[in-house]
């Protein structure tokens, strides 16, 4: 399905071991653009943003058009670290700028790992020249591995499109959903593209794509202190600059960016800790899209619904009860509920309706259970009120989740 060539014109990537992690596993990723590129980003809404998030927010305001790359460490989140943490984030960026020979204020910083511990700056600074040395156009596999914490596999995707006869490439990496490990934090993602696009449109496209992808996943409902999605565009593909959001060019750019963000976001869910099921919750017929999202999200984060997925129990009562407490407009007599499932997205058992008019139909419990035993489950809730709709991807809640998160940090 996915091409094996992840290269994007003008970008290099590397991933090395800098001994920030005690295990000796790779823990330092560098992504660099040979020419200045434009950046867009979305950051955590958490009121305890980590030092790199604070640094990146300022950088994005100050210099969104002269960016040279991003340095990402795993093993330490640099969150709840006060002023020394802020200084360390800045010094990391400056060290990379110097090592690359790049201009000032051109490098973003991301961190993921333990909260409340200062970055081991000696190890990090010693690792930077090593990472620079390893930079290469096909360094993406190494880059995607060095940002992993409890992830069981790297998340690396590429997409392309044609604009004015030129091929435009997108390559993206992401890691770990929510705060999935004891005291580990963070969903991080970096996407690079050689598209040529005005910076405000780049931000507009990223914000839209993140809303339709990363903001539609939930493993445990916990938002980390470090969540960051960064998009870099260097314009190397050679097509005419996209400067108008109403053009066909922007439309296809938006669609492809949303697609790769969805690839990355779904991969994060599929690697959620303790997961045995991948679940899609669709809510249609809500008052508006926002209400639909709130409804789908309440179902997706309900421990009772998630344990029912784990137990392969088509427990529609819990799903309706969750929708009912979502704080959105619901008229029980207009509600319908459908389920389907299968081994993967391509193969699905026929959809089965469980509820009509807010009360259960006389369906086969055996068929419903067979659907809920599938590794991928779709739940469709029709509210019958208006045109609002939303889709959220989530997982079940398993023994293994409790085990992973209940174990002591050390």
Task: Just list the catalytic residues.
Answer: 186
Length of the chain: 410
Torsion over CA: 311, 315, 317, 319 (sign): positive
Stretch that binds a second copy, among 17-25, 111-119, 228-236, 278-286 (CB under 8 A): 111-119
- As a whole number of angstroms, the distance between CA 214 and CA 174 comes to 10
Sole binder of a second copy in the list 86, 94, 141, 222 (CB under 8 A):
222
Give the nearer residue to a second copy in terms of CB position, either 199 or 367. 367
Give the nearer residue to a second copy in terms of CB position, either 203 or 218. 218
Check binding of 366 to a second copy (CB under 8 A). no
- As a whole number of angstroms, the distance between CA 214 and CA 231 comes to 13
Check binding of 225 to a second copy (CB under 8 A). yes
Whether residue 355 contacts residue 337, with contact meaning beta carbons closer than 8 Å, is answered with yes
169 three-class SS: strand
- As a whole number of angstroms, the distance between CA 253 and CA 47 comes to 32
Q: Which residues of 62-86 are buried (b: 16+ CB within 10 A; e: fewer)?
A: ebbebbbbbbbbbbbbbbebeeebb
Sole binder of a second copy in the list 1, 61, 62, 333 (CB under 8 A):
333
Give the nearer residue to a second copy in terms of CB position, either 23 or 45. 45
- As a whole number of angstroms, the distance between CA 335 and CA 382 comes to 6
Check binding of 324 to a second copy (CB under 8 A). yes
Applying the rule CB under 8 A, the residues between 369 and 398 that interact with a second copy are 369, 397-398
Check binding of 362 to a second copy (CB under 8 A). no
Six-digit token string for 107? 């490098």
Applying the rule CB under 8 A, the residues between 273 and 312 that interact with a second copy are 301-304, 307-308, 310-312
Max CA-CA distance within the chain?
Answer: 70
Sole binder of a second copy in the list 179, 188, 210, 257 (CB under 8 A):
179
- As a whole number of angstroms, the distance between CA 377 and CA 358 comes to 21
Binding mask 31-50 for a second copy (x = CB under 8 A): --------------xxxx--
Give the nearer residue to a second copy in terms of CB position, either 148 or 322. 322
Work out how close the CB of 79 gets to a second copy at its nearest, in angstroms, rounded to a whole number: 7
Sole binder of a second copy in the list 240, 243, 345, 402 (CB under 8 A):
402
Q: What is the CA radius of gyration of the chain?
A: 22
Check binding of 325 to a second copy (CB under 8 A). yes
- As a whole number of angstroms, the distance between CA 136 and CA 13 comes to 6
Whether residue 17 contacts residue 128, with contact meaning beta carbons closer than 8 Å, is answered with no
Q: Which residues bind a second copy (CB under 8 A)?
A: 45-48, 79-82, 114-116, 178-179, 182-183, 185, 220-225, 301-304, 307-308, 310-313, 315-318, 320-326, 328-330, 332-333, 355, 357-360, 369, 397-399, 401-403, 405-409
């Amino acid at each position: 399905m996915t091409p094996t060539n992840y290269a994007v014109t003008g970008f290099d990537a590397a991933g090395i071991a800098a001994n920030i992690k005690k295990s000796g596993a790779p823990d330092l990723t560098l992504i660099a653009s040979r020419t200045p590129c434009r950046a867009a980003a979305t950051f955590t809404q958490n009121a305890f943003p980590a030092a790199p998030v604070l640094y990146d927010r300022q950088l994005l305001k100050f210099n969104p058009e002269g960016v040279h790359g991003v340095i990402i460490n795993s093993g330490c989140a640099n969150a709840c670290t006060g002023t020394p943490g802020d200084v360390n984030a800045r010094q990391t960026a400056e060290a990379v700028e110097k090592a690359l020979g790049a201009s000032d204020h051109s490098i973003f910083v991301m961190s993921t790992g333990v909260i409340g511990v200062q970055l081991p700056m000696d190890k990090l600074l010693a690792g930077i020249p090593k990472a620079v040395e390893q930079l290469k156009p096909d360094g993406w596999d190494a880059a995607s591995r060095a940002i992993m914490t409890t992830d069981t596999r790297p998340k690396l995707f590429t997409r392309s499109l044609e604009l004015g006869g030129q091929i435009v490439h997108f390559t993206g990496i992401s890691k770990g959903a929510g705060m999935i490990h004891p005291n580990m934090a963070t969903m991080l993602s970096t996407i690079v593209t050689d598209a040529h696009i005005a910076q405000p449109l780049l931000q507009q496209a990223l914000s839209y794509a993140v809303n339709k992808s990363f903001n539609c996943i939930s493993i445990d409902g916990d938002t980390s202190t470090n969540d960051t999605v960064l998009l870099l565009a260097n314009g190397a593909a050679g097509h005419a600059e996209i400067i108008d959001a109403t053009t066909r060019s922007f439309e296809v750019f938006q669609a492809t960016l949303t697609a790769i963000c969805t690839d990355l976001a779904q991969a994060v869910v599929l690697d959620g800790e303790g997961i045995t099921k991948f679940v899609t919750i669709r809510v249609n017929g809500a008052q508006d899209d926002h209400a639909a999202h709130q409804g789908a999200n309440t179902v997706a984060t309900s421990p009772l619904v998630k344990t029912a997925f784990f137990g392969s129990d088509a427990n529609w009562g819990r799903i309706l009860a969750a929708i009912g407490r979502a704080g959105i407009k619901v008229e029980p007599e207009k509600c319908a509920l459908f389920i389907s499932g299968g081994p993967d997205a391509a193969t699905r058992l026929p959809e089965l309706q469980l509820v009509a008019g807010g009360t259960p139909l006389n369906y086969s419990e055996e068929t419903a259970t067979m659907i809920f035993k599938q590794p991928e489950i779709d739940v469709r809730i029709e509210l019958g009120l208006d045109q609002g709709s939303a889709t959220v991807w989530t997982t079940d809640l398993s023994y293994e989740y409790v085990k992973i998160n209940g174990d002591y940090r050390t």
